[in-house]
Structure 1
Amino acid sequence: MSVGIVMLVHTALDRAEQAARHWAAGGCPVVIHCDKLVDNKTYNAFVTSLSDVPNVEFSTRYRCEWGTWGIVAATQVASEMMLNQFPFVRHVYLASGSCLPLRPVEELVEYLEERPRTDFIESATTADVPWTVGGLDHERFTLRFPFSWKRSRFWFDRYVQFQRTLRLKRKIPNGVIPHMGSQWWCLTRQTLSAILQDPDRPDYDKYFKQVWIPDESYFQTLSRQYSTNVESRSLTLSKFDFQGKPHIFYDDHLQLLRRSDCFVARKIWPHADRLYEAFLTDMAGAMKRTEPNPGKIDRIFAKAVERRTRGRPGLYMQSRFPNEDWENGVTAAPYCVFHGFSELFVNFESWLTKATGARVHGHLFAPDRAHFADGHETIHGAMSDSAISRNYNPGAFLTNLIWNTRGERQCFQFGPADNQKINWRISKDHNAQISVISGAWAVPLFKSNLNFIDIRKMAAELQKIENDHLKVLRSPFAKARVRIWSMAEFIEAPMEPLQGILDEIGPTQSRRLSEVPKMEDLAGFGQFLQNLKNQGMHPHLMGDFPVDRGTETTNKPPRKPYLVQ
């Protein structure tokens, strides 16, 4: 007994010829259906090129278009020719011109001879199929599809909507339970002949002509009617992406295909010379005998699909870039934002760098420029400190900074005088650790030498901006790790919050924090706030700050007694 190969061909006829010769050399008769869209001159040359190969026949040609009945009709006529002209064939294997045998033909023949009554066809009910793409699962069997999805997409969609609106449904033939699966199957003579010679075939054909993508449901459904032993799997390795399009295998997939241990793979790139040379070979150069196991490479394909659909955290793909919240993570790594710390402490950036080993920047979104650490004008990724280029897209500036410096914790200062367009992006980023001392923006104004009327005006504007920022940070949509202290609350006991911040960053030292960075001299700051109140501006973000409160009023440790002789 032998295996008959039915090939559906529409392009890359030179590769189809090569595959047909390989099948025939292995003792398998081949019946080829060539798409009617192929011009007669090309088709005749193809037939002539295989005229010297015995047991290769050509069937009546049909016009084959994706998702239409023509593919099923082509399979039917080629299968009928196979069964009629080659009575010794026990199994019929459906393949395409882009299919490539991965193992010697003799192994496939032996494998099927050991399973003489087993049909290999992927066949599952619509309720059990999670991979239908396009929003049509059971509806493809109950609606009519007279229009081509590819050529007449407008009318296809409108007619589907029309049927849904009027609740029009077709009746499924009695005894038929719709199943779906891969188009590429291997059926026994008994099952295939029963399908093709069924007295009710005209009714089944009439029904399936109006089914969407019938080549994935016709044989898959009817084989359940007649087969006594169905293995719901295909012997052909075919993988599909998230859009339902088949993966194409190239030369660099050689080792991947070897690991699958499958008999046949599709879709092979026509110019993959290395693959054709490696697999269309003799027994000595073929793969080892083993059970086909495409699951061995499913993990790789799953990762590829995830990479394509979700991408890498913090690295934006062109397909997702314009769409808010489509990213797989706003940024690539954790980072820290300090709001009000550089205003309250002297040389805070230097102290934090020494305490944590992180790279601590100044105000990256300051009006004049991006203040990179150590005064650099550029940073990794050729990122400039130019405020003009940064403000063109502040969100992309931040994500590029974190991506280009991943592996090193980044920290930067932020305040109400900075570019506020970054607020929502930071607050919705689970990688952000945001620490805020509200009202600390008033310290530089307090120490400035400006006219008080100008100070009052600036204070009112900065307080409004910071208040809006705090609302964003407290929003239910915020995902960042946010901690907010009022200025009065923070300077009351700065050691504990600073220790918590350093612990979260990851301290470089095991000992506890022994000293805080030097705080600005706040003598007279309480009176400054009172003066703002007296001028009609209410500075409420600093907390309850008494008029006589300042750094000089804090309790000083008692001097040690000494003896004078």
Structure 2
Amino acid sequence: MARVAFILLCHKDPDAILNQVTRLTAAGDYVAIHFDASAAPADYRKITSALADNPNAIFVTRRVRCGWGEWSLVEATLRTLQAAFDAFAQATHFYMLSGDCMPIKSAHYAHRFLDAHDKDFIESFDFFDTDWIKTGLREERLIYRHYFNERSQKRRFYAAFALQKRLNITRAVPTGIQVMIGSQWWCLRRSSVAAVLAFTRQRPDVIRFFRTTWIPDETFFQTLVRHLVPGREIESRTLTFLMFSDYGMPVSFYNDHADLLLGQDALFARKISAEAHRLKQVLGALYASDRTDFTISNEGRTLFSFLTARGRSGRRFAPRFWEAEASIGAGRSLLIILCKKWHVAKRLTAAIRQSTDIPAFDYLFHEDDTPLPDMGGIERSLAKRGRHHRAFVRMLYDHAGTDRVVICLDTSSLDLLGDFHADRADVRILEIDCDLGDDYLIGHAIRVGLAGPQTSRDTFARLLPTIRRDMIHERDAIRDARFKNAARLRETATDAENAAALAVFLGVDDTTALALAQTPHLFVD
């Protein structure tokens, strides 16, 4: 059975630390504690005194004054890791933890999970070939030397940085090392920790390099583990669930996040709000239980992104200047089918292709694999098609040798719809009004990653009204725009009513329009 030595770096809230250490060691695991040397001495004396008789808890005596983004954080981690490695011979895994972390699974579940997965869990992405860094310095973290702290010594930090840039004083990565980057929250096996500690003694040049890199806690262990451990034995993810806002700030979890946290494919979560007292009680009791019946839906990050994005349209309501010149052209008809249920629109376009001579294309701005003719490469990706969408559609007319083309758009595409409608071409719209039942919304949530097959009924009960309102908002925004030449196909309408709308939209005779309206299983999910 796995036994974990937790590497706990902390600097405040001694009562919370005592609760955390007591909880972890009560489950048979170990804790090695580094209490920041710059923290209050009284707090340090309090926790050392309270844990003096706990054989499964030790303290780093040669403590470090830690600063965000500095080598001091790595140094404190290495000292704590070495102390844990020496003191706890029975430890099979070493898990990096902070005072803001709480378990979101039971200890029994965590031990069984680690027994079943003989791997190191640490994010490690190629530093120069990833978008892991969202803002701030990138390669400058490595190629320049950073002697000052950007937060506490901002003027010195940027003055030294500017001087090196002006004099072109750069440096290379140590020989044989590929720098990796990822979250500082990891879980390593004993053999991997032994290899890392030995490497730090064998390669002082690597240590010197990382001492003056910026934010080395996101690169040091990530680089060394990938260098020392076979790739097949590394799972590039963290077992600590955490999220960041659009502004790069960590998201805090509160009392009403309990169900969400338990459904994530992780063992711990960070950061738990200091005010979430009920959540801490629930998670503390959970860790001491024997519970293993967790339903893993893992929708936390996509759900957070979706919900926080509501209220931000994120849409562009005017064409870029280079697109304004790309007109489809007067004398051409662009027939746009708007439908949230893509399978319904695709059945209609298939029938149009079969019953008329009008070229009909599916969701060419939404799906990579939409069947398209060879157009010199512009058709190969959504990014290329969308970059100059009017020009792309004009090429469809030229390729087909026609003046009428049908395309499908999702109802979220108000920006595209408005841009096309501003063109000199004859633009007609056919909105397909479908029933948005719970079964469809559940399938939609799973398809777009807001939920998984194991998502609980309670989560869906909270999620579905938001999705439905979002879709209704898209529909209402389109109708409020009052586009000309707009018709509507309704799931609740008669075949004759829908045939009349199709005849106007496509400009076909009544017999053809009725046949299209009677397309078998048109509205079936």
Matched, 1:299 2:302: yes
Matched, 1:185 2:215: no
Q: Which residue of structure 2 lines up, in the alignment, with residue 33 of structure 1?
A: 34
Structure-2 separation of matches of 1:283 and 1:38: 28
User: Residue type of the partner of 1:260?
Assistant: Q
Structure-1 separation of matches of 2:120 and 2:132: 22
- What are structure 1's unaligned runs of at least 5 residues? 314-326, 332-428, 434-477, 484-499, 513-565
Q: Which sits farther off after the overlay, 48-57 or 30-39?
A: 48-57
User: Residue type of the partner of 1:298?
Assistant: R
Contact 1:24 1:55 in 2 (8 A): yes
Match of 2:9, SS state, is: strand
1:109 to 99, 108, 111: 111
Match of 2:285, SS state, is: coil
Q: Which residue of structure 1 lines up, in the alignment, with residue 141 of structure 2?
A: 140
Write out per-residue CA displacement over residues 4-37 of structure 1, whole angstroms, 9 at most, x where no aligned residue.
Answer: 1111112232222211111101100111111112
In angstroms, what is the RMSD of aligned CA positions?
A: 3.2
Write out per-residue CA displacement over residues 446-501 of structure 1, whole angstroms, 9 at most, x where no aligned residue.
Answer: xxxxxxxxxxxxxxxxxxxxxxxxxxxxxxxx998499xxxxxxxxxxxxxxxx97
Q: Which residue of structure 1 lines up, in the alignment, with residue 175 of structure 2?
A: 174
Q: Which has the larger radius of gyration?
A: 1
Q: Which residue of structure 1 lines up, in the alignment, with residue 239 of structure 2?
A: 235
User: Residue type of the partner of 2:264?
Assistant: S
Map 1:475-486 → 2, pairs under 5 A: 481=422
Contact 1:30 1:56 in 2 (8 A): yes
Map 1:229-378 → 2, pairs under 5 A: 229-282=233-286, 288-289=292-293, 294=298, 296-304=299-307, 306-307=309-310, 311-313=311-313, 328=315
Write out per-residue CA displacement over residues 419-464 of structure 1, whole angstroms, 9 at most, x where no aligned residue.
Answer: xxxxxxxxxx96999xxxxxxxxxxxxxxxxxxxxxxxxxxxxxxx
Structure-2 separation of matches of 1:37 and 1:207: 25
Q: Report how far residue 164 of structure 1 moved.
A: 2.6
Map 1:479-498 → 2, pairs under 5 A: 481=422
Structure with the bigger percentage of helix: 2
Match of 2:22, SS state, is: helix
Write out per-residue CA displacement over residues 221-243 of structure 1, whole angstroms, 9 at most, x where no aligned residue.
Answer: 01112213111111111112223
Matched, 1:205 2:207: yes
State the identity %.
31
Structure-2 separation of matches of 1:123 and 1:165: 32
Structure-2 separation of matches of 1:502 and 1:151: 59
Map 1:389-468 → 2, pairs under 5 A: none
Match of 1:89, SS state, is: coil
Indicate how the Cα distance of structure 1 residues 81 and 479 shifts in structure 2: closer, same or farther if over 3 A, else same: same
Match of 2:172, SS state, is: coil
Q: Report how far residue 209 of structure 1 moved.
A: 0.7
Write out per-residue CA displacement over residues 165-211 of structure 1, whole angstroms, 9 at most, x where no aligned residue.
Answer: 33221121111100001101111111112111223242222110111
Q: Which residue of structure 2 lines up, in the alignment, with residue 85 of structure 1?
A: 87
Q: Report how far residue 147 of structure 1 moved.
A: 1.7
Q: Which residue of structure 1 lines up, in the alignment, with residue 14 of structure 2?
A: 13
Write out per-residue CA displacement over residues 331-380 of structure 1, whole angstroms, 9 at most, x where no aligned residue.
Answer: 9xxxxxxxxxxxxxxxxxxxxxxxxxxxxxxxxxxxxxxxxxxxxxxxxx
Match of 1:122, SS state, is: coil
Match of 2:134, SS state, is: coil
Indicate how the Cα distance of structure 1 residues 505 and 286 shifts in structure 2: closer, same or farther if over 3 A, else same: farther
Q: Which sits farther off after the overlay, 107-116 or 262-271?
A: 107-116
Deviation >3 Å, runs of 4+ = 282-294, 304-307, 327-331, 429-433, 478-483, 500-507
Indicate how the Cα distance of structure 1 residues 284 and 207 shifts in structure 2: closer, same or farther if over 3 A, else same: closer
When the two structures are superposed, what TM-score results if normalisation uses the length of structure 2? 0.58
Q: Which residue of structure 2 lines up, in the alignment, with residue 537 of structure 1?
A: none
Q: Report how far residue 286 of structure 1 moved.
A: 6.7
Map 1:464-543 → 2, pairs under 5 A: 481=422, 503-504=485-486
Q: Report how far residue 146 of structure 1 moved.
A: 1.2
Q: Which residue of structure 2 lines up, in the alignment, with residue 96 of structure 1?
A: 98
Q: Report how far residue 285 of structure 1 moved.
A: 5.8
Contact 1:235 1:292 in 2 (8 A): no
Indicate how the Cα distance of structure 1 residues 109 and 291 shifts in structure 2: closer, same or farther if over 3 A, else same: farther
Structure-2 separation of matches of 1:291 and 1:84: 37
Structure-2 separation of matches of 1:432 and 1:261: 39
Q: Which residue of structure 2 lines up, in the alignment, with residue 43 of structure 1?
A: 44
Contact 1:29 1:55 in 2 (8 A): yes
Write out per-residue CA displacement over residues 250-288 of structure 1, whole angstroms, 9 at most, x where no aligned residue.
Answer: 112112112214210001112211111111115796764
Match of 2:92, SS state, is: strand
When the two structures are superposed, what TM-score results if normalisation uses the length of structure 1? 0.54
Contact 2:14 2:46 in 1 (8 A): no
Contact 2:109 2:291 in 1 (8 A): no
Contact 1:430 1:480 in 2 (8 A): no
Q: Which has the higher contact order (CA 8 A, sep 6+)?
A: 2
Structure-2 separation of matches of 1:197 and 1:106: 32
Structure-1 separation of matches of 2:276 and 2:282: 10
Structure-2 separation of matches of 1:45 and 1:70: 24
